[in-house]
Amino acid sequence: MVDSRYASLSRDELAVLVPELLLIGHMIDRSGMAWCISEFGREEMVQIAIEEWAGSSPIYTQRMQRALGYVGNDVFTIFKGLQFDIGSPPQFMDFRFTVHDRWNGEFQLASCGALIDVEPMGYDYTFGMCHTIEDPTFDATAVATNPYAQCRPVHRPPRTPADRQPHCHWTVKIDESYPPAQPIPALAVVGATRAATWELADIDPEGEGLADYTGPLLSDVDFTAFSHSALVRMADEVCLQMHLLYLSFALAVRARASSDELAASVGRRQLTGLAGLGAMRIKNALGLPDDIDGALRVFELHPLLNPIGYLRAEFGQDAIVVQPSPAHDDGAWITLCTPEHVAPLQAIATAVNPRLRVEVEGADTEWTARLTEVDTEAKELPEVMVTKVSTGAAFQFQPRQSLPLMVV
């Protein structure tokens, strides 16, 4: 079984990085949807978002269930899954759970970072996210746990009054009399990718700390409580969540794009924005230096180049050598990075130090990227600037007390 690039981090470093990766994954849409609006309009953007999440979240939800040993068909399982989903990163999407019994529960968002981002855009955008997108995607995620689960709103935005708290409130009920939720066709396509079935190393049950999440549902996940091995597996799984989400996004975009070139352009703009923001957060979270060594470390830990095996890359003193990989076979993010298209790679380098430059030589699927330092600072790429409009760009995690949630 292949190793993980995250295994080189300490347990404490991983406990910091895993929630960062969940938040970075959430920022994919802050980057991508702006370009969908500009190319296809707001209504098509909404449909792309629905297809993107419904075509990927059931796959990666089940992957994390298996990895952490909480496979089940009840409300507890659904809520645990939300705590490890890039769609609901901890604290930024501040879920508060109530469980009445195995088949009935509720959740509230005490604060919703996605809402805070979209509310200034007006009623139509808020309604699109909180109604048109959420209705099918909550149920689509439930397919992973129980097709007879229904998530239904008690209240949700647009907020009335404008400062209503909590931001939204939903019930979750599982009842076999409900019509079973049906997967969308894209789910089968994404499920056939190498990313969907990529095997990662099992968690070592002997390490210090929790090796699974088989215990009670917790109010907030304390990542410091998990073992080094469990945190490594989580990090790699979260990276696969991002690749799967992009593969589903790419399907939805291609269905609407007038050409392969336009579809790739939208994907590349999404990746460029996310690459730069993600690099900034990884560097800051781990306190990495702003020199070439620091940049190479950021590249090594960036979701673009993980997990090992799915992405094949070697790291030298000032260079990254990328080889053909299963990610290329899938048409994943890495296919958007070539000697002719270096913007995503440059966005990572610039986030570490604006004086760093990336030069790429080779073929589309096998290339070498070299880092050099120059005297002049590069301007931040517009794709990164668009992504950093989100409050998630500067969001800071806070220590939380992790309490077990009992049946009410």
Per-residue 3-state assignment (H helix, E strand, C coil) for 327-385? HHHHCCHHHHCECCECHHHHHHHHHHCCCEEEEEEECCCCEEEEEEECCCCCCCCHHHH
One-letter amino acid of 182: Q
Peptide bond connecting 158 to the previous residue in cis, omega within 30 degrees of 0: yes
**The two three-digit tokens of residue 384, written as one number:** 């990164």
**The two three-digit tokens of residue 267, written as one number:** 């994907």
Contact predicate 5/306, CB 8 Å = yes
- Say what percent of the chain tops pLDDT 70: 99
C-alpha angle 334/354/262, rounded to 5°? 35
Residue 31, burial from CB neighbour count under 10 angstroms (0-12, 13-18, 19+): buried
**DSSP SS3 for 281:** helix
> Which residues lie across from 150 on neighbouring strands?
173
Find, among 36, 52, 35, 54, the residue nearest to 44 by Cα: 36
Cα dihedral sign for 158, 161, 166, 172? negative
Strands in 274-337 per DSSP E = 312-315, 319-323
Question: In the chain, which residues have pLDDT < 50?
Answer: 1
Q: What is the Cα–Cα distance from 202 to 67, expressed in whole angstroms?
A: 7
- Across 183-217, b (16+ Cβ under 10 Å) vs e yields bbebbeebbebbbbebebbebeeebeebbebeeeb
One-letter amino acid of 151: C
Q: What is the Cα–Cα distance from 138 to 171, expressed in whole angstroms?
A: 11
Q: What is the pLDDT of residue 1?
A: 46
**The two three-digit tokens of residue 376, written as one number:** 């002049």
Note the residue count of the chain.
408
Phi/psi for 322 (5° steps) reads -105, 135
CB-CB neighbours of 93 under 10 Å: 23
> How would DSSP label each residue in 218-278?
BSS--GGGB-HHHHHHHHHHHHHHHHHHHHHHHHHHHTT-SSHHHHHHHHHHHHHHHHHHH
Cα dihedral sign for 180, 186, 187, 188? positive
Q: Which helix (H) or strand (E) holds 56?
A: none
**DSSP SS3 for 149:** strand
Strands 319-323 and 168-174: unpaired
**The two three-digit tokens of residue 158, written as one number:** 């647009």
